[in-house]
Amino acid sequence: MRNKTVAIVGATGAVGREFIGCIERRGVPVKQLKLLASARSAGKTYDFRGETLVVEDTTPEAFEGVDIALFSAGSGISRQFAPIAVKAGAVVVDNSSAFRADPEIPLVVPEINAAAIKTHKGIVANPNCAAITTLVPLWPIHQVNPVKRLIVSTYQAASGGGAALMEELENATRAYLDGRPHEPKVVKYPYAFNLFSHNTAIDPETGYNDEETKVIKETRKIFGDETIAVSATCVRVPVLRAHSVSMTFECERPIAPEEVRAILANAPGVRLVDDREDNYFPMPKDASGQDDVLAGRIRRDLSDASGRSISMFVAADQLLKGAALNAVQIAELL
């Protein structure tokens, strides 16, 4: 992004605002930053490096002169405007699910498959937040001792549903504590002091919801290995920010917890939080606002007598590494 004109599409959303913060915090010397959103958000202002930036309506003309466009406004907006941005000369880094499954479009986590960026034809897809959280700490292990089977259970925060769902959790919690009724608006279940299966459509044939299917398919695409056996259970929990994932993975050869800790101690984008003595392991409160994926609770899977399986717990900020930060890292590599 150095000395480039960068546009943020969906700039007023939760991830869009994190795009602005990431670029400012990382000190990237962009030539110009353009903020784009829906017509109803046009005219809002945000501070950026001592300047006041005014949000513009997302129109085809808004992409003229743009070098890189960071999209986080939903798959419908991405499908409509990403090709227009590319035609105008921009490279699009898209945070929605619109292009992730397209075999012609690279799906990138920079710590894993940065080289795939070189194959882009104008669009690079940013993976699902739960997939990123799972795979950043799993990849360095996979390189040493290939992972053959992976079972994950996610504990996904309200931030994954955007600013509206975060507000719903706050309002529902206040109402619950005050003894007032609260009618859910964003999801159909009570959110305060409750958890429920991820609020995406369920495939009637497989029984997996869309989020779980994304984790399965994106793991294989990012790792470049269609043979990995993956199962996922994705759950929405009453946490404002930062996703957590419980995983058990089976490697090709026996592997010890000490070996996994040694691998992760030097892994890019990972920070070990694995204090058995004090029972202190990754938590959303510690992951919030952090760039790294926190990894811990590393232990042998006692159900596998072969010694090839490890259980682990991880947490990462969904709005940062799970979304905005990963996209900005891609843009930096461009």
Task: Supply the pLDDT for residue 2.
Answer: 76
Q: Are residues 100 and 119 in the same domain?
A: yes
Q: Are residues 327 and 180 in the same domain?
A: no
CATH code, domain with 111: 3.40.50.720
CA distance linking residue 211 with residue 168, whole number of Å = 20
Q: Are residues 137 and 184 in the same domain?
A: yes
**pLDDT band for position 267 (cuts 50, 70, 90):** very high
Task: Supply the pLDDT for residue 119.
Answer: 96
CB atoms within 10 A of CB 25: 13
Residues labelled catalytic: 129, 243
| pLDDT tens track for 6-20 | 999 999 999 999 999
- Check pLDDT > 80 for residue 39: yes
Task: Supply the pLDDT for residue 264.
Answer: 98
Q: Are residues 224 and 243 in the same domain?
A: yes
Q: Are residues 167 and 117 in the same domain?
A: no
Note the pTM of the prediction, 2 decimals.
Answer: 0.93
CA distance linking residue 71 with residue 57, whole number of Å = 14
Strands 196-197 and 270-272: unpaired
Q: Are residues 244 and 300 in the same domain?
A: yes
Q: Which structural domain, as residue segments, surrounds residue 311?
A: 131-318
- Tell me the sheet residues that pair with 280: 275
Using the structure block, give the residue that is written with the tokens 């006041």: 52
Closest by CA to 134, choosing from 115, 117, 154, 149, is: 154
Q: Are residues 278 and 220 in the same domain?
A: yes
Q: Are residues 69 and 207 in the same domain?
A: no
- Check pLDDT > 90 for residue 1: no
**pLDDT band for position 108 (cuts 50, 70, 90):** very high
| pLDDT tens track for 16-35 | 999 999 999 999 899 999 99
Number of structural domains found in the chain: 2
